[in-house]
C-alpha cells in the first residue's frame, strides 16, 4: 500500500508538473508563433503584450493585441484583451465550439479610398476557395456567446472625405450554432461626434436575410450627414439630432419589404449658408407611426407634427440661394446621383423614395397633421431695390387624413410681415386630388410693400393703398368654378424715381382708368375651365374701365375735393421724407409755416414729433448711392469735396448693374459667398460709414424741420420724442405729429368735411374696410 501510494503521488505530480510546464511553455510559444508567422498567414503584422493558453480547459487570452494595416505601422484593429473558451472535447467530433468570446475595449478603423477598403486583402485571403471537387466531411462551428465591451470604431472616407466614429460600443450576442440560421444580439453605443446614443436589439436570419430591429435613439447626433452634404453642395452647414423608439421588420434583399411602427423625431434641424445663417430649420419633426409597410400597401400614422419650421428663399441676379448651394437646377446633386460614388444622403433619399412609391395606391391614414409657428421668408435682390416679405406665424392643421373618408379638411392661417394676414380652408377628396373646395383671403396688405416690383416696371412708387384678395373655388373632376375678388383701397402714386434700372409706364393714366370714384380698384375675376387650362374672365375689369372712362369725368370735382382734404389731414398728422433726402417739398414748407403760425397764436399748444424711421430701406438707398459715388470719384479722378449736384444726379441715374460698376465692385469684393450687389456695396462702403451717413441724414432732416419754428421763435413748443425703427405701412420714413392742447382749426375742419364725404355713395360702400385699415396706415 505504501508503495502504491508513493507511485500514485509520483504519477499525479508528474501530470501536474507536465501540465504546468505545458501551460507555461505553450503560452509564450503561442505568442512567438503568432508574431512570427502573422504576415505569412494573414498578410498583416500582429503584436501582443502576452498570451495565455490552457489546452486542457480550452481557455485562451491575448493581452493588448494589435493588428496593423497592410504593410504599415498604423493600427487597423486592437483590443486591450481578447478571451475565448473553447470546448476541447467537441474537437474529436469535428465540432469547433467557442463557448464564450469576449473582446475588451476593441478599437477598429475602416478606411475607404474610392472603391478600395483597407480590409480587402483579408477578404481575399480568407474567402472560401474551390477544393477542386474533393469531398470532405462537414466541419461544424458554434459560437455560443459574444461580448464586445466598451469598443470604439472609426470610419474614414478619403475621397468624400468622411471622418466619423462610434464610442462606448457594447454588444452582447447569443452567437450562432452550425445548425441554425439566426443571430440575435443586444447593442448600445454613443456618437463619437456631437452627442447622443442608441441602444436596442436585433435578429438576423442569414439564410433568407430577414431581420428584426428594436431601437431607441436619444438625441443621436446626425453630424455625419454634413460630411456627405459637402459632396452635394458648393457650401453650407448642417446639424440635427435624432430621437427614435422603433420596431422594424424587413428583408435586406428588397427595400420595400419593410415594416415600421413606433416614434421617430428629428430635432434642432439647421441647414444653411453658415452657422449663423439658416436657409431651412425646424425645432422638431415628429412621426408617430401605427404601421408603415410599403409591401403591404399600408401607410398608417397617428400624427405628423412640425414645430417652428423656417425656410428662407432668396432670388439673386442670376440664381437663387438654393441654386448657388446645389448648382443650377440641382446640378451638383444630380451629378452624384449616377451612383459612381457612395453618398449616404442620396442613399437615404432613394430609400425614402422607394418606401413612398406606392403611397397614393395604398391604404393611408393620418389622424392629425400639424405645422406650428412656421416662418417663411422671401427676399428678391434681382430688382432695383430689395423686396422682402415674410409669412409668420404659419399654422396648418389637417385632421383625419384617411382614404376611407369622403373629404379631408385642411386650414392654414398666417400673419404676413410687415403687415397683413392670410387664411385658407381646403376640403379635398383623398381619392381624387382634382376634386376639392377652396376658400382663401388675404387682407390688410400695404400696396407700398410691392414698390420694388412697381418701381422696376413703372418707375412710380406707391405711398398709400391697402390690398385685399379673396376667393372661393369649387373643383370637380378638374373642372373649375371660382369667384375671385381684388380690392385695393385708396391707392396713390408718388414722385417718379429716375434711373437706368427702371422702366417707364404712365401709371397716372392707368390709375385714371382703373380707379373708381371712391378711390378704390374693385374687380371680380371669375376663373373657369380646367386645372390644366384655366380661363380668366375679365368682363368685370373691362366694364369698370369703360365706366370710369365715361362716368368718372363727371365726378372729377368730387375726387379732387376728397384728395385735397385727405392731403390736409395727412400733412397735419405726419410728414413724409423721400428716400435719402432731407429737403422739404414746397407744399410741406407751406404746411410747416402754417403750423408755426398756429403755435405762435396758441402759446399753450405743444407739438410732439415722433420720427418713424424706415432704417432698412433708407440704408439700402445710402449703400447703393455711396458705392456708386465712390466709383464715380475714382473713374473721374475727383475728390469728395468737389462732388456737385450734377455729379449727384449722374450717380442717382447710374444702374447698380452697370457692367463697369459691377466689375469695379467685384474687383474690390472678391468673395464667392457674397451673392448680392447690396452686400457687395455694403462691404465696399463699410457698416460704420453707412451708419454715420444715416445718422447725418436724420440730423439734417431735424434741422430742416426745426428751421421754420426757430424763425418764429416757437421752437420750445416742439418736442422731439425718441425715434422708432419701423417698416412703415406706406413705405417711407415719416415724422408722426401729435398735438397737446388745441388742434389747428384747419385740421378740425378737414376732419368734419371728410366725415361728410365718407357718408356719400362712392366712399360709403368701403367705409368698414377703411376703418379696419386706419390703424395700420397711420
Banded pLDDT at 328 (limits 50, 70, 90): confident
CB 211 within 8 A of CB 252: yes
Mutual angle of helices 507-514 and 539-550, in 10-degree steps: 100
Burial track 757-773 (b if 16+ CB lie within 10 A, e otherwise): bbeeebbeebeebbeeb
Please tell me whether residue 29 adopts helix, strand or coil conformation: helix
Predicted local distance difference test score (pLDDT) of residue 763: 52
- Residue 364, pLDDT above cutoff 60: yes
Which residues touch 356 (CB under 8 Å, ≥6 apart)?
Answer: 294, 299
Cis peptide leading into 393, omega within 30 of 0? yes
- Residue 774, pLDDT above cutoff 60: no
Banded pLDDT at 89 (limits 50, 70, 90): confident
Predicted local distance difference test score (pLDDT) of residue 752: 59
**Average of per-residue pLDDT across 608-625:** 94
**pLDDT tens figures, 219-262:** 999 988 888 888 888 899 999 999 999 999 999 888 788 999 99
Banded pLDDT at 343 (limits 50, 70, 90): confident
**pLDDT tens figures, 167-199:** 999 999 999 888 888 999 999 999 998 889 999
Predicted local distance difference test score (pLDDT) of residue 54: 86
| Cα distances (Å, whole numbers) of residue 48 to 27, 63, 75, 121, 276 | 12, 6, 12, 22, 49
Which residues, listed in sequence order, are joined to residue 574 by a DSSP beta bridge? Answer: 736
- Residue 561, pLDDT above cutoff 60: no
Residue 220: phi and psi, rounded to 5, are -75, 120
- Residue 627, pLDDT above cutoff 90: yes
Predicted local distance difference test score (pLDDT) of residue 355: 78
Question: What percent of the chain has a predicted confidence (pLDDT) above 90?
Answer: 54
- Residue 135, pLDDT above cutoff 70: no
**Average of per-residue pLDDT across 325-351:** 74
Please tell me whether residue 196 adopts helix, strand or coil conformation: coil
Look up residue 132 and give its DSSP letter.
Answer: T
Secondary structure in 3-state letters for 256-311? EEEEEEEEEEEEEEEEEEECCEEEEEEEEEEEEEEEEEHHHCEEEEEEEEEECCEE
Banded pLDDT at 114 (limits 50, 70, 90): confident
Which residues touch 234 (CB under 8 Å, ≥6 apart)?
Answer: 324, 325, 326, 327, 332
Q: Between the ranges 176-180, 261-265, 741-745, where is the mean pLDDT highest?
A: 261-265
Look up residue 636 and give its DSSP letter.
Answer: T
Of residues 341 and 533, the one with the higher pLDDT is: 533
CB 237 within 8 A of CB 268: no
Residue 170 CA, distance from chain mean position: 36
Which residues, listed in sequence order, are joined to residue 263 by a DSSP beta bridge? Answer: 245, 288
CB atoms near residue 161 (< 10 Å): 12
**Which of 385-399, 557-571, 691-705 has the least mean pLDDT?**
557-571
Predicted local distance difference test score (pLDDT) of residue 548: 66
pTM of the model: 0.84
- Residue 109, pLDDT above cutoff 60: yes
Residue 449: phi and psi, rounded to 5, are -60, -35
Q: How far apart are the first and last CA of the chain?
A: 124
**pLDDT tens figures, 269-300:** 999 999 899 999 999 999 999 999 988 889 99
User: Rg (Cα) of the chain, in Å, rounded?
Assistant: 40
If you average pLDDT over every residue of the chain, what do you get? Answer: 86
CB 492 within 8 A of CB 464: yes
Whole-angstrom Cα distance, residue 627 to residue 604? 48
Amino acid at each position: 500500500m505504501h508503495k502504491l501510494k508513493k507511485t500514485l503521488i509520483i504519477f499525479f505530480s508528474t501530470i501536474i508538473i507536465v501540465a504546468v510546464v505545458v501551460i507555461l511553455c505553450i503560452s509564450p510559444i503561442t505568442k512567438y508563433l503568432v508574431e512570427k508567422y502573422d504576415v505569412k498567414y494573414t498578410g498583416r503584422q500582429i503584436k501582443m503584450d502576452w498570451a495565455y493558453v490552457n489546452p486542457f480547459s480550452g481557455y485562451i487570452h491575448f493581452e493588448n493585441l494589435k493588428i496593423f494595416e497592410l504593410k504599415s505601422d498604423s493600427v487597423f484593429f486592437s483590443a486591450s484583451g481578447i478571451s475565448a473558451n473553447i470546448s476541447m472535447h467537441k474537437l474529436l467530433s469535428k465540432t469547433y465550439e467557442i463557448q464564450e468570446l469576449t473582446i475588451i475595449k476593441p478599437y477598429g478603423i475602416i478606411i475607404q479610398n474610392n472603391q478600395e477598403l483597407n480590409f480587402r486583402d483579408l477578404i481575399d485571403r480568407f474567402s472560401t476557395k474551390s477544393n477542386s471537387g474533393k469531398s470532405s466531411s462537414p466541419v461544424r462551428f458554434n459560437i455560443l456567446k459574444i461580448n464586445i465591451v466598451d469598443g470604439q470604431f472609426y470610419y474614414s472616407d478619403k475621397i468624400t472625405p468622411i471622418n466619423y466614429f462610434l464610442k462606448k460600443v457594447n454588444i452582447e450576442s447569443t452567437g450562432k450554432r452550425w445548425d441554425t440560421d439566426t443571430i440575435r444580439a443586444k447593442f448600445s453605443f454613443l456618437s463619437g461626434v456631437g452627442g447622443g446614443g442608441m441602444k436596442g436589439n436585433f435578429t438576423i436570419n442569414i439564410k433568407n436575410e430577414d431581420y428584426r430591429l428594436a431601437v431607441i435613439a436619444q438625441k443621436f447626433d446626425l453630424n455625419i450627414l454634413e460630411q456627405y452634404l459637402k459632396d452635394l453642395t458648393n457650401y453650407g452647414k448642417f446639424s440635427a439630432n435624432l430621437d427614435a423608439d422603433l420596431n422594424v421588420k424587413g428583408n435586406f434583399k428588397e427595400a420595400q419589404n419593410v415594416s415600421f411602427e413606433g416614434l421617430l423625431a428629428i430635432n434642432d434641424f439647421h441647414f444653411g449658408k453658415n452657422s449663423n445663417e439658416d436657409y431651412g430649420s425646424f425645432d422638431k419633426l415628429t412621426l408617430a407611426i401605427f404601421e408603415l409597410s410599403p409591401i403591404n400597401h399600408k401607410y398608417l400614422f397617428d400624427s405628423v407634427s412640425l414645430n417652428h419650421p423656417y425656410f428662407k428663399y432668396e432670388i439673386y441676379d442670376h440664381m437663387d440661394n438654393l441654386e448657388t448651394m446645389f448648382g443650377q437646377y440641382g446640378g451638383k446633386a444630380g451629378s452624384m446621383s449616377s451612383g459612381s460614388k457612395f453618398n449616404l444622403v442620396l442613399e437615404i433619399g432613394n430609400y425614402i423614395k422607394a418606401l413612398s412609391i406606392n403611397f397614393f395606391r395604398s391604404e393611408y391614414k393620418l389622424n392629425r397633421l400639424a405645422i406650428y409657428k412656421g416662418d417663411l421668408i422671401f427676399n428678391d435682390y434681382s430688382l432695383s431695390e430689395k423686396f422682402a416679405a415674410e409669412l409668420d406665424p404659419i399654422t396648418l392643421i389637417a385632421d383625419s387624413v384617411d382614404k376611407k373618408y369622403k373629404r379631408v379638411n385642411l386650414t392654414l392661417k398666417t400673419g404676413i410681415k410687415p403687415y397683413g394676414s392670410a387664411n385658407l380652408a381646403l376640403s379635398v377628396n383623398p381619392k381624387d386630388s382634382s376634386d376639392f373646395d377652396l376658400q382663401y383671403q388675404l387682407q390688410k396688405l400695404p400696396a407700398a410693400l410691392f414698390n420694388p416690383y412697381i418701381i422696376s416696371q413703372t418707375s412710380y412708387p406707391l405711398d398709400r393703398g391697402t390690398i385685399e384678395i379673396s376667393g372661393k373655388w369649387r373643383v370637380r373632376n378638374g373642372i373649375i368654378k371660382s369667384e375671385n375678388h381684388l380690392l385695393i383701397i385708396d391707392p396713390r402714386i408718388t414722385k417718379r424715381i429716375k434711373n437706368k434700372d427702371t422702366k417707364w409706364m404712365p401709371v397716372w393714366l392707368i390709375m385714371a382708368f382703373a380707379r373708381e370714384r371712391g378711390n378704390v380698384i374693385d374687380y371680380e375675376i371669375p376663373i373657369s375651365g380646367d386645372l390644366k387650362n384655366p380661363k380668366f374672365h375679365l368682363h368685370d375689369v373691362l366694364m369698370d374701365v369703360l365706366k370710369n372712362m365715361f362716368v368718372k369725368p363727371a365726378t372729377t370735382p368730387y375726387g379732387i375735393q376728397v384728395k385735397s382734404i385727405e392731403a390736409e389731414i395727412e400733412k397735419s398728422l405726419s410728414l413724409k421724407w423721400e428716400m435719402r433726402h432731407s429737403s422739404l417739398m414746397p407744399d410741406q414748407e407751406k404746411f410747416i409755416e402754417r403750423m408755426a403760425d398756429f403755435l405762435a397764436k396758441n402759446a399753450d399748444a405743444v407739438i410732439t414729433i415722433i420720427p418713424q424711421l424706415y432704417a432698412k430701406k433708407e440704408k439700402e438707398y445710402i449703400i447703393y448711392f455711396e458705392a456708386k459715388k465712390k466709383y464715380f470719384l475714382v473713374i473721374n479722378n475727383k475728390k469728395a469735396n468737389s462732388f456737385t449736384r450734377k455729379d449727384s444726379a449722374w450717380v442717382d441715374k447710374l444702374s447698380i448693374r452697370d457692367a463697369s460698376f459691377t466689375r469695379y465692385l467685384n474687383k474690390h469684393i472678391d468673395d464667392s459667398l457674397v451673392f448680392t450687389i447690396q452686400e457687395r456695396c455694403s462691404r465696399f462702403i463699410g457698416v460704420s460709414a453707412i451708419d454715420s451717413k444715416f445718422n447725418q441724414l436724420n440730423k439734417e432732416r431735424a434741422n430742416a424741420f426745426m428751421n421754420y419754428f426757430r424763425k418764429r421763435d416757437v421752437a420750445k413748443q416742439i418736442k422731439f420724442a425718441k425715434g422708432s425703427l419701423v417698416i412703415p405701412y406706406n413705405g417711407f420714413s415719416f415724422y408722426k405729429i401729435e398735438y397737446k392742447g388745441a388742434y389747428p382749426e384747419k385740421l378740425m375742419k378737414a376732419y368734419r368735411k371728410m366725415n361728410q364725404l365718407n357718408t356719400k355713395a362712392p366712399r360709403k360702400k368701403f367705409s368698414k374696410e377703411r376703418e379696419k385699415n386706419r390703424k395700420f396706415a397711420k
